[in-house]
Amino acid sequence: MQAKIHLPDPSLIKEELINKYPAKVAKKRSKSIVINDPETIPEVQANVRTVPGIITQRGCSYAGCKGVVLGPTRDIVNITHGPIGCSFYSWLTRRNQTRPESPTDENFIPYCFSTDMQEENVVFGGEKKLKQAIQEAYDLFHPKAIAIFSTCPVGLIGDDVHAAAREMKEKLGDCNVFGFSCEGYRGVSQSAGHHIANNGVFKHMVGNNNAPVEGKFKLNLLGEYNIGGDAFEIERLFEKCGITLVASFSGNSTVGAIENSHMADLNVILCHRSINYMGDMMETKYGIPWMKVNFVGAESSAKSLRKIAEYFGDAGLKARVEEVIAEEMPKVKAIIDEIRPRTEGKTAMLFVGGSRAHHYQDLFTELGMTTVAAGYEFAHRDDYEGREVLPSIKIDADSKNIEELKITADPELYNPRKSEAELEELKAKGLEINGYEGMMKQMVKKSLVVDDVSHYESEKLIELYKPDIFCAGIKEKYVVQKMGVPLKQLHSYDYGGPYTGFEGAVNFYKDIDRMVNNPVWKLIKAPWEKEGAEALEASYVA
C-alpha cells in the first residue's frame, strides 16, 4: 500500500526526533521509531521501560487494572487499598457508561472507595484497616462482589490483600471478595495491570455460574469498556441481528454476566492488548475460540458482523446480518458523501492506547484521510506486527514479574465449540481466529511508527508533518491545540461518542469534519500579527 499523499522522508524525520537525546537515550528510542513497510514488517521495540525523565503518555499498572478492566462493571464495589490519590484520580474519569436494567439495580460506578491509608498504616501495616473497609462496604451496600486494588505502598509494606480478601469472603459468606496486586510500579505501563486484571477476573469470577444461557448465537464481547456508549451501539447491532451477548468484558457489564460468560460459544475481541489473555485462557479451559473483530468504522463493523455470522455458519444469521448492514449503511453513506469532500486528502496522527491507534485508522480511511504516523502508549510487539511474532518476543525482567496463569482444560466444562478442521476452514476464509494481524500491515509504506512517543517527539512530529488532526489523550490535548492543530481525544472522545458501529461512525465523521474545518484555527493570529499586515499606526488630526 502506497500513500496517496506526499510523505516527507521518514529517515530524516527519525534522525530529527532523536538527535537531541543523550546518546544512550537516542540509541534506545531509535529502536522504537520505525519506518513502516506493510509488505515486510520491521521489528518495533515495545513494552519496554520509559527512560526516567522523559515526558511520557504512560500511566501505571493500577490504572490498567482498576481503571481500565475492572472499573466499567457496575455492581462490583472496587476498593482501592492505599493513600487517597489513586482512587480519587480514577473516579469517573474514564466515562464508562452503564445502564442498570432497573432503577433498583446496583450501580457503584459513580462511587469512589478507598482505605485512605495513613502513615500509621504504612508503618504498622494496613490489613486491619482494609478488612474494616471491606466490612463497612458490605454493611452499607451488600454488593455481590468486592474487589481490592493494591497501590504502590501496599506491595512494599507487604500487606497481603489476597489473604485479607479470602478471610473476608469466608466471613461474609454471600459476597465474592478478591484482590489484585496491581501496584503502580509493576511492569512498564498500564499493560501490566491489564494482565493482572485478566488473571484475577478469570480466577475469581469466570465460571462461577454454570446456568445455561438461552440463545442460538451466544458470544462474549471482550475488550469493550463502553466509553461514550460504544458498547450500547454494539449491543444494538447484536440484538438486531439476533446474536446473544452473554457478557461484556467489561463495559455495561455485571458480575452475574461475567460469572456466566463461559456458557458462550465465541469470544470476540475488540481491544486485543487489554484482554487477549482472557481469550486464550477461556479457550484453553472451556474450548471457546476467540476472534479478533473491530467495530470502529462502518466498513469494519459490517465486516465484523459478517465474520461472526460466518463463525456460527448459519444461513439465517448470515442473511439477517446482510439485512441489517443493508439497513444501516445508507444512513452512513449519506453522511460520508456529504462530509468526505471536506476531509479528503487530509492527514492524521494517532498516538494512543494499545488498540485505538490501530482501529481508528479505519474511520480516517473512510474519511479519505491518511494516517502518516501512529503508535501505541502501552502495547506490545504483537499489537504492531501481528501475533505471529509472539514466539520471538523476549520476556524481560519487567514482564517476568507478571504472573502467567497455568491453565488446563476443565475436566467437566471443556467443550471445543469448533473442531481443529473447522477452525482451519474459518481461518482460510479470512477470520482472525485466535489471531490478530496488528497495526502495521494496514499502514501505508513509509509512514512512521513510534512506540511510547514522548512529548518532545510529538512536538517535533507536528512541526515536521503539520497533520490536520492529532489523536491522543487529555495530557496531550491542549499542548497540541496550542500549536494550532486540533486534538481528538481517543480515551474520552472529548466527552462525545459513541464511535463504534454505524451510528458511531457517523458521530466520528461529524466530529472530525467539525474539528479539522473549524474556523477557530484561522482566528489565532490577530489582524495586526498577520504577515503583510500594515502597521497599525494611527494619528489623529486635531
Using CB under 8 A, which of 113, 149, 232, 238 touches other proteins?
Answer: 113
110 belongs to the binding site for other proteins (CB under 8 A): yes
- Per-residue x/- mask for other proteins, residues 14 to 43, rule CB under 8 A? ------xxx--x------------------
* Residues 81-100 interacting with other proteins (rule: CB under 8 A): 82-93
Q: Which is nearer to other proteins, 244 or 489 (CB)?
A: 489
Q: How many residues bind other proteins (CB under 8 A)?
A: 88
- Of 29, 194, 272, 491, the active-site residue reads 194
Task: List the interface residues with other proteins, window 358-397 (CB under 8 A).
Answer: 397
Binding piece for other proteins, criterion CB under 8 A, among 34-42, 133-141, 235-243, 430-438: 133-141
CA atoms of 193 and 61, how far apart (whole Å): 4
Residue 142 in grid coordinates: 451488600
Active site residue 94: yes
Is residue 107 within the footprint of other proteins (CB under 8 A)? no
Minimum separation from the CB atom of position 109 to other proteins (A): 11
Which CB atom, from 409 or from 483, has the smaller least distance to other proteins?
A: 483
Rounded distance, CA 55 to CA 121, Å?
32
Place of cell 496463569: 405
Grid cell for residue 296: 470502529
CA dihedral sign of residues 371, 373, 374, 377: negative
Region of 294-302, 308-316, 418-426, 454-462 interacting with other proteins (CB under 8 A): 454-462
Determine if 430 is a binding residue for other proteins (CB under 8 A).
no
Nearer to other proteins, 87 or 176 (CB): 87
Q: Does 236 bind other proteins (CB under 8 A)?
A: no
Among 187-195, 218-226, 428-436, 504-512, which window interacts with other proteins (CB under 8 A)?
Answer: 187-195
Nearest to 77 by CA among 114, 105, 103, 104: 114
355 contacts other proteins (rule: CB under 8 A): no
- Should residue 292 be labelled a site residue for other proteins when binding is judged by CB under 8 A? no
Catalytic residue among 46, 63, 86, 302: 63
Which range of residues in 104-112, 161-169, 264-272, 531-539 is near other proteins by CB under 8 A? 104-112
Residues constituting the chain? 542
Q: Output the DSSP codes for 427-480.
A: HHTT--BT----SGGGSPTT-EEESS-BHHHHHHHHHHH--SEEEE-HHHHHHH
Decide: is 518 part of the binding site for other proteins (CB under 8 A): no
What part of residues 521-540 is at the interface with other proteins (CB under 8 A)?
Answer: 524-525
Cα separation, 293 vs 245, in Å, equals 15
Who contacts 140 (Cβ-Cβ below 8 Å, separation ≥6)?
none
Compute the least distance from the CB of residue 96 to other proteins, in Å.
15
Does 494 participate in binding other proteins (rule CB under 8 A)? Answer: no
Calculate the dihedral angle through the C-alpha atoms of 70, 74, 78, 83, rounding to the nearest 10 degrees. Answer: 90
Element (H, E) at 266: strand 266-269
- When the beta carbons of 20 and 27 are compared against other proteins, the nearer one is 20
Integer Cα distance of 256 and 500 in angstroms: 25
Residues 146-165 that bind other proteins (CB under 8 A): 151-153, 155-157
Give the residue with the Cβ less far from other proteins, 108 or 311.
108
Q: Which positions from 55 through 74 interact with other proteins, judged by CB under 8 A?
A: 55-63
Using the rule CB under 8 A, is 139 a contact of other proteins?
yes
Which residue lies nearer to other proteins by CB, 380 or 417?
380
From 46, 60, 133, 471, active-site residue? 60
60 is a catalytic site residue: yes
Stretch (H or E) spanning 230:
helix 230-241
Question: Cα(330)–Cα(386) distance, rounded to whole angstroms?
Answer: 33
Cell of 215: 440463545
Picking from 354, 287, 321, the residue whose alpha carbon sits closest to that of residue 69 is 354
Whole-number minimum distance, CB 385 to other proteins, in Å?
24
Q: Is 309 a catalytic residue?
A: no
Q: Which stretch binds other proteins (CB under 8 A): 49-57, 241-249, 361-369, 384-392?
A: 49-57
Q: How far is residue 268's CA from residue 287's CA, in Å, rounded to a whole number?
A: 14
Alpha-carbon distance values, 17 to 374, 478, 486 (Å): 14, 21, 22
- Verify whether residue 340 is a known catalytic residue: no
Q: Which of residues 240-269 bind other proteins (CB under 8 A)?
A: none
Is there a contact between 263 and 211 (Cβ–Cβ < 8 Å)?
yes
Choose the binding region for other proteins from 274-282, 287-295, 431-439, 451-459 (rule: CB under 8 A).
Answer: 451-459
Does residue 492 sit in helix, strand or coil? Answer: coil
What is d(CA 189, CA 60) in angstroms, rounded to the nearest whole number? 5
Q: How far is CA 411 from CA 205, 311, 414, 415, in A?
A: 18, 25, 6, 9
Q: Which residues form the catalytic set?
A: 60, 63, 94, 194
